[in-house]
A and B are shown apart, each in its own frame.
Chain A
Amino acid sequence: MSSSTVAMPPTHYLNNGLTLKSWLFTKDHKRIALLYLVAVTFFFMVGAAFAVAIRLELATPAGDLLSDENYNRVFTMHGVMMVFFFLIPAVPAILGNFLIPLQIGAKDLAFPKLNLLSFYIYFVGSLFTMYSIVSGGLDTGWTFYTPFSTVASTSAVVPAALGIFINGFSGILTGLNFIVTIHKMRAPGMTWFRLPLFVWAHYATSLIQVLGTPVLAITIVLVAAERIFGFGLFNPAVGGDPVLFQHLFWFYSHPAVYIMILPAMGIISELVAASARKQVFGYTFVAFASIGIAVIGFLVWGHHMFVSGESVYAALVFSVLSFIVAVPSAVKVFNWIATMYRGSVSWETPMFYVAGFIGLFAIGGLTGLFLASMGLDVHLTDTYFIVAHFHYVMVGGTIMGYLGGIHFWWPKITGRMYNDLLGRVSAVVIFVGFNLTFFPQFVVGYLGMPRRYHAYPEEFQVLNVLSSAGASVLAVGYLMPLFYLAYSLKYGEIAGDNPFGAVGLEWNTTSPPPTENFKTTPVVTWEAYEYPTPVEGHVV
């Protein structure tokens, strides 16, 4: 561990320019990452506030706290905020932005100005969507199903959709930036198979963002066109096909699930290696599992539509591919566990988040098999079972990974250490609170409680109360890091360059790093996660 005598480096990216302008017009990928950190955290809190309203409403079977109209607006905005403005950008835009250049030994991303532009596109997109909240709300669900969204809804569909449309370009440009950077900016000796798995995961994610997001953008334009001009695209009364929308929507939005989970998997690979001080078991399998998930992930969208009237033969193909895409995910989990075998396993905060991630992701992944099973999906789809499943993957998985990554790289980002005991406690509280919140939803889902219900039959109440009570534990878990991390900014111990004794180029520069990342261009002569017997420069 770091000794208390280490000092902060005299100059680093945080004190290189202290004016507001030096932040808002920065081209430094690390500062842009922090701009995202502030914005993304804000949208997480907005989305979480909507979640609080949902769980309070569902504590009683009658629709008594909110009107049905407002409840529909609340769950819609919870989904829109969390998916488009928190989960999709969280890991790539914050940690990916901060770490990819550092991990490959580059000074910055390939297109620093484009990177800043991506942030402002994200910001402008969020303004439009936020505007829809105050101008009548949005009641279509985050899925915008037609013809409800184009014909029936009286809410502010167009501003919200425009915001998501604009925001999409932020993701496309960030993905493009990452792809070019990973191809062209690697330090000498940093071959493809020496890349940290975090970089591989972001490469796969970027491919999905660049190829998938335009389809979402087009779909949203079509929804707006039908809504504004009455084109007969999705509305059957004027010759459209409502199910066409679902194909277009899920063609993006299923791969989007992998945009959310792949980067978090990349974090877990880094954390498990550093926590065990050991090479990731089966590096190439984990790397290609990311690519495999990204490719097959594009071909499974129809599993959202088994009861939507697609042909049974189309459903059959989507089903078998959905089962097959489970295999690379399982391979990753087995490799992480094998990495711990005969490791030197740290009991610091990041490892606790890794353990939590693996536990929740296992349940999230395995319950995915229930939904890929067509005969069972008929009963389960559109119930709380599916709500529980995707929260296990997207919240249990992605947020666990994201917070684990924030804790692991916090000393690198800020130069200071947080209270490790509080970190471990937060991981445990989140893990417990998460299971209390979402496990009952599996049960109530199999009982048949449909999702997006403002009021429900009384026999479902006990399970809903359990879920709401668990959510309060979860809320405490999510609030804790906010406080002790903020506290550490001023009062935290000086971390030193490599407080975890990890390998990886980002640990071979100061904490916080200088604006140019490295004083001299590093030359890589070692494999990824190659832990030497303790020598100077690797273990403090």
Chain B
Amino acid sequence: MRSGTPLFPEAASTIAPRVDALYLFLVGLTAFMTILIAALVVIFMIKYKRRDPNSIGARIHGGMALEIIWSIIPLFIVLGIFVWATGIFFDIARPPAETMNIYATGKQWMWKFQHLDGQREINELHVPVGRKVKMIMTSEDVIHDLYVPAFRVKADVIPGRYSHIWFEATKAGEYHLFCAEYCGTQHSGMIGKVVVMEPDDFQAWLSGGVQEGSLASAGSKLFQDLACNTCHRPDAQGRGPVLQNLFGKTVTLASGENVVVDEAYIRESILTPSQKVTAGFQPTMPTFQGLVSEEGILQLIEYVKSLKTDMPVSAVRPNTGGPAPNENTPAQAPPTRN
């Protein structure tokens, strides 16, 4: 965040220079075309100024060649821009397979972030330089939008859905974080900062502070508190499906439909369990609507993701301060599903 009056935003992510290049090209095109158009209008106004009040213009109806030229050339120019811009967009919209995940929850009028290691932040987001970070975001109330101008990315944060942005920061520093979708009275107060740190500093920050244990362990505790473990057992003897190694898999529903187990499916299964019942099971699960917060759901999701082995992680895993766990985004899950 800078003082003074900058005229161009800081570029602090890998995508930012690519966005800026397209922007500058379009600024150049706009300046060229506007000056050309304005010059022609002014020149024609002067050159063909009416001097005799009874004079009329030359009889010219039009010209097919000119019409074709000034339709086709702009068409090719804009299609070229389309291809260029779409390439950038696809890279923004599709997170890479290997990312460091951070969960974000928007609510009127604050941002809450949960790191996998258990750190929680409000209106402040710490990330390291040089890591691909994916934000998995949802809202507790209305639509918000997480926007970091220095990274040139934003995405709407929508209640009932998970949306994503991803970025790789390139420069340590503090940058604005805004809510970019109007969300009511204190919309302009729903701001904060992104603190980009060198990897070592980030590790130090991660290991300092909270000692609540990882997000997955919080989820594990919640899993037991809500008595989920009475039906979802690791040994296939429970009344509900086994959750071990489930995340990212495709399951068949009672309706015959196939569904990929992603964040949205887990959320839906917790809040409206009878909506999509796995084949072979009875719709006996009660809804947990109102019993578990959006953040709690995110913890449960992280817990389900952590169930890679047959044994659930212990409820209180000590915070080792080691490298943050790398989450694997399953390749078969469409990354921009939302």
A residues whose Cβ falls under 8 Å from a Cβ of B:
1, 63, 68-69, 72, 139, 141, 143, 145, 147-148, 151-153, 236-237, 241-243, 276-279, 281-285, 306-309, 311-312, 315-316, 319-320, 323-324, 326-327, 330-331, 333-335, 337-338, 340-347, 351, 355, 358-359, 362-363, 366-367, 369-370, 372-379, 381-383, 443, 446-448, 450-459, 461-463, 501, 531-534, 539
B48 pairs with A447, CB closer than 8 A: no
A309 pairs with B161, CB closer than 8 A: yes
- Name B30's contact: one of A323, A367, A450, A458 (CB within 8 Å): A367
B70 pairs with A319, CB closer than 8 A: no
- Name B142's contact: one of A143, A151, A334 (CB within 8 Å): A151
B62 pairs with A1, CB closer than 8 A: no
| Cα(A148)–Cα(B63), bound, Å | 53
**Contact pattern, B 22-38, Cβ under 8 Å of A = 1, otherwise 0:** 11001001100110011
Could you write out 28 A-B pairs with CB less than 8 Å apart?
Answer: A147-B142, A151-B141, A152-B108, A152-B142, A237-B159, A277-B57, A279-B60, A282-B66, A283-B62, A307-B156, A323-B79, A330-B71, A331-B71, A334-B70, A342-B57, A344-B57, A369-B81, A370-B23, A372-B81, A376-B85, A378-B19, A446-B8, A447-B6, A450-B179, A452-B187, A455-B188, A461-B5, A531-B56
- Note all chain A residues with C-beta closer than 8 A to B38: 358-359, 362
| Cα(A335)–Cα(B2), bound, Å | 46
B182 pairs with A279, CB closer than 8 A: no
- Name B23's contact: one of A141, A237, A309, A446 (CB within 8 Å): A446
| Cα(A342)–Cα(B55), bound, Å | 11
B158 pairs with A337, CB closer than 8 A: no
Interface residue B281 (Cβ < 8 Å from any Cβ of A):
no
A243 pairs with B3, CB closer than 8 A: no
A379 pairs with B149, CB closer than 8 A: yes
Interface residue B171 (Cβ < 8 Å from any Cβ of A):
no
**Contact pattern, B 14-54, Cβ under 8 Å of A = 1, otherwise 0:** 00001100110010011001100110111011001110111
A362 pairs with B58, CB closer than 8 A: no
Residues of A contacting B: mostly: helix
Within 182-198 of B, Cβ neighbours of A (below 8 Å) are at: 182-189
- Note all chain B residues with C-beta closer than 8 A to A501: 53-54
Given contacts A282-B67, A312-B93, A340-B45, contact A378 B143 (CB under 8 A): no
Interface residue B176 (Cβ < 8 Å from any Cβ of A):
yes
B158 pairs with A309, CB closer than 8 A: yes
- Note all chain B residues with C-beta closer than 8 A to A345: 44-45, 48-50, 57
- Note all chain B residues with C-beta closer than 8 A to A147: 141-143, 159
- Note all chain B residues with C-beta closer than 8 A to A377: 85, 89
- Name A347's contact: one of B45, B70, B158, B189 (CB within 8 Å): B45
What is the distance, in angstroms, from B252's C-beta to the closest C-beta of chain A?
24
B63 pairs with A282, CB closer than 8 A: yes
- Note all chain B residues with C-beta closer than 8 A to A282: 61-63, 66-67
Within 137-154 of B, Cβ neighbours of A (below 8 Å) are at: 141-143, 145, 147, 149-150, 152-154
| Cα(A327)–Cα(B30), bound, Å | 14
- Closest residue of chain B to A235, judged by CB? B159
What is the distance, in angstroms, from A23's C-beta to the closest C-beta of chain B?
37
Q: A-B pairs with the 4 shortest C-beta distances?
A: A448-B149, A375-B88, A236-B160, A278-B57
- Closest residue of chain A to B29, judged by CB? A366
| Cα(A358)–Cα(B38), bound, Å | 8
A340 pairs with B48, CB closer than 8 A: yes
A242 pairs with B182, CB closer than 8 A: no
Interface residue B86 (Cβ < 8 Å from any Cβ of A):
yes
A337 pairs with B40, CB closer than 8 A: yes
Given contacts A152-B184, A323-B81, A324-B78, contact A307 B154 (CB under 8 A): yes
B78 pairs with A326, CB closer than 8 A: yes
Interface residue B209 (Cβ < 8 Å from any Cβ of A):
no
Interface residue B317 (Cβ < 8 Å from any Cβ of A):
no
What is the distance, in angstroms, from A537's C-beta to the closest C-beta of chain B?
13
| Cα(A147)–Cα(B183), bound, Å | 10
A148 pairs with B184, CB closer than 8 A: yes
Given contacts A324-B75, A448-B176, A539-B54, contact A279 B45 (CB under 8 A): no
- Name B74's contact: one of A326, A340, A376 (CB within 8 Å): A326
